[in-house]
Amino acid sequence: MPIDVNGKSLETDEEGYLANLNDWNPDVATKMAQDDGVELSENHWEVINFLREYYEEYQIAPAVRVLTKAIGKKLGPDKGNSKYLYELFPYGPAKQACKYAGLPKPTGCV
């Protein structure tokens, strides 16, 4: 089912992840979050932007520990833990945040 962003129809997979990574722009994240009933705060964006930077370098989403450490550095040590990330992304930082960031869903036993 495609997702409509700014009048453009973007292809997604069965679970709503973007089919084509290059289709992403910040409005895509906002729209996906809206559809989930979530309003993206600055802290959400810190996570989303980090995921995109990391993906660009390594072609994979960061491991949970890599992510929590990076967020701890940016937002303060009290936020550098998975509990905080789950507060931001209740469906799981690895999956929900990846989706908003336009990354493919992590696969495997995770």
- Spatial distance between the Cα atoms of 17 and 25, rounded to a whole number of angstroms: 13
Query: In terms of Cα–Cα distance, which of 24, 104, 110, 15 is closest to 63?
Result: 110
Of the pair 8, 20, the CB lying nearest other proteins is at 20
Identify whether the C-beta of residue 1 lies closer than 8 Å to the C-beta of residue 13.
no
The DSSP code sequence of 70-105 is HHHHHH-GGG-SHHHHHHH-TT-IIIIIHHHTTPPP
Residue 77 binds to other proteins (criterion: CB under 8 A): no
Of the pair 34, 59, the CB lying nearest other proteins is at 59
- Judged by CB under 8 A, which of 22, 42, 56, 107 binds other proteins? 107
Of the pair 2, 66, the CB lying nearest other proteins is at 66
- Judged by CB under 8 A, which of 66, 73, 76, 77 binds other proteins? 66
- Spatial distance between the Cα atoms of 16 and 102, rounded to a whole number of angstroms: 10
Q: How far is the CB of 29 from other proteins (least distance, A)?
A: 20
Identify whether the C-beta of residue 33 lies closer than 8 Å to the C-beta of residue 100.
yes
- Judged by CB under 8 A, which of 11, 65, 77, 87 binds other proteins? 65
Which residues are known catalytic residues? 109
The footprint of other proteins (CB under 8 A) covers 14-15, 58-60, 62-66, 69, 82, 94-95, 106-110
